[in-house]
Amino acid sequence: PFQVVGGKVKKPGKRGRKPAKIDLKAKLERSRQSARECRARKKLRYQYLEELVSSRERAICALREELEMYKQWCMAMDQGKIPSEIKALLTGEEQGKAQQNSTKLAKAAKTDANSSNP
């Protein structure tokens, strides 16, 4: 049952891939299913990209509006006027700094009181 070829023993039967006896209908159906899945993936990818583009466009519009607001503020300040928004920011920062300083002082006082009492 064994053949000797070139010093090697060969077993009967074929090695490697078997001849394709796959049902043609099954092969076509797998191909169609693969194409459907490919189209679905493509559709999802395009939806994602469209959403990404629209969100970036909204961000660009918001930044342009903000830039225009800053330009208006600069033009007003060039004319010697201080926009009310900037006044609010400045007074808010001053109040914020005063509050921070008072809380720092209060914490320092508590720390001193705690360290003096053993």
pLDDT at 23: 86
Quickly state the pLDDT bin for 118 (edges 50, 70, 90).
Answer: very low
Task: Please write the tens of the pLDDT for every residue from 28-85.
Answer: 999 999 999 999 999 999 999 999 999 999 999 999 999 999 999 999 999 988 888 8
Residue 117: helix, strand or coil by DSSP? coil
Whether the pTM exceeds 0.75: the reply is: no
19 vs 31: CA distance, rounded Å? 19
Q: What is the mean pLDDT of residues 12-22?
A: 63
What are the tokens at 103? 């809380």
**Residues in a beta bridge with 8:** 5
What percent of the chain clears pLDDT 90, i.e. is strictly above it?
45
40 vs 100: CA distance, rounded Å? 56
b/e 66-104 (16+ beta carbons within 10 angstroms → b): eeeeeeeeeeeeeeeeeeeeeeeeeeeeeeeeeeeeeee
Q: What is the dihedral of CA 100, 102, 103, 104, to 10 degrees?
A: 80
More confidently predicted of 56 and 99 = 56
